[in-house]
Amino acid sequence: MEQKLVDFSAFHSRLRVTGTLHLETALRIGAGGGGGATEQDLPVVKDLAGKPYIPGSSFKGAYRAHLEALLRGMDEKLACLSTDTAARFGGPGAVSGCLSQGDVDKLKEENRDNPAELGQRILKASCWTCRLCGAPWLASKLMVRDMPVVADTWFDRYLIRDGVAIDRDTETVGAGLKFDYEAVPAGTAFRFEMVVDNATGVELGLALLGLREFEDGFVTLGGGRSRGLGEVKLEVDWENGKETWLVTRDGLRAYLLDRTMTSLADEEIRRSYWKAFLDEVAKGGKSDA
């Protein structure tokens, strides 16, 4: 893994958010790889006890993709241009919203003797999504823990469904293309925990906007979305100030002294962060990088 280039020694903030993720429809997050003869064709991810869980990386991937789409919808210049998208957009420089690996290599060459300057330039040129969720050359500020199943919503029963692979050329069901897949039933719930370390006020606004999309049920998880799988709703513990809280630079002393944290129960406080982000985007700036 390449060395991360940004120095986070200056404290901005720490945000911790917990909640419960409810499955509105069945969920299918595949375990990948082949199973044994007694397993279904396509098993879901399970813990060592055989219970389902949602890998933090799966949640984060969906969260990130949704933020990217949201930002691109607001303005094409806010689109990400990390490694895999660079090719689609015609290579480095085709979109000004973010860096490609080629851009990063060039910046490294130009700032060979000045790592601090390099870190700043990379940060300034990276898109909002990469600044919050990371890129190969930028540490992520946002972490989602693996999400265990809520015990009293789990009855030890997976769904087995018939899947039918559609031949993409003829749009017909091909012979021998039927398969079974496993899914976690609707009604199952998972514990959620996200920590965002050292985000600026503006970046916190973006992080909180992303969470609101999950609260409103606009983000799907896992596979089979076209078949209606993976609809989820996040219920955040906003009211529980011991679980969900924010510490900013201004409040750091009080936090260290008495563990005093800012409650996010009041939506007006959250709104002030959304607004800071939307205002910054509207004026095209990244002033608090």
Binding stretches for Zn ion (CB under 5 A): 80, 82, 98, 127, 130
87 vs 254, beta carbon nearer Zn ion:
87
Q: What angle do CA 39, 42, 48 make, to 5 degrees?
A: 60
84 vs 152, beta carbon nearer Zn ion:
84
Structure-token pair, residue 186? 């609707």
CB of 281 to Zn ion, least distance (A): 14
Name, in order, each residue with C-beta under 8 angstroms of 126's C-beta and a sequence gap of 6 or more: 98, 99, 135, 138
**Phi, psi of 257, rounded to the nearest 5 degrees:** -75, -55
65 vs 186, beta carbon nearer Zn ion:
65
CB of 60 to Zn ion, least distance (A): 14
**Other CB atoms within 10 Å distance of the CB of residue 59:** 25
67 vs 80, beta carbon nearer Zn ion:
80
CB of 79 to Zn ion, least distance (A): 8
Cα-to-chain-centroid distance, residue 205: 14
CB of 68 to Zn ion, least distance (A): 8
Residue 155, CA distances (Å) to 1, 187, 196 in order: 40, 10, 33
CB of 275 to Zn ion, least distance (A): 23
64 vs 270, beta carbon nearer Zn ion:
64
Q: How far is the C-alpha of 220 from the C-alpha of 214, rounded, in Å?
A: 8
Residue 175 CB-density burial (10 A; 0-12 exposed, 13-18 middle, 19+ buried): exposed
CB of 135 to Zn ion, least distance (A): 6
Could you tell me how many residues make up the chain? 289
Residue 242, CA distances (Å) to 145, 186, 238 in order: 18, 29, 10
132 vs 234, beta carbon nearer Zn ion:
132
With H, G, I as helix, E, B as strand and everything else as coil, classify residue 221: coil
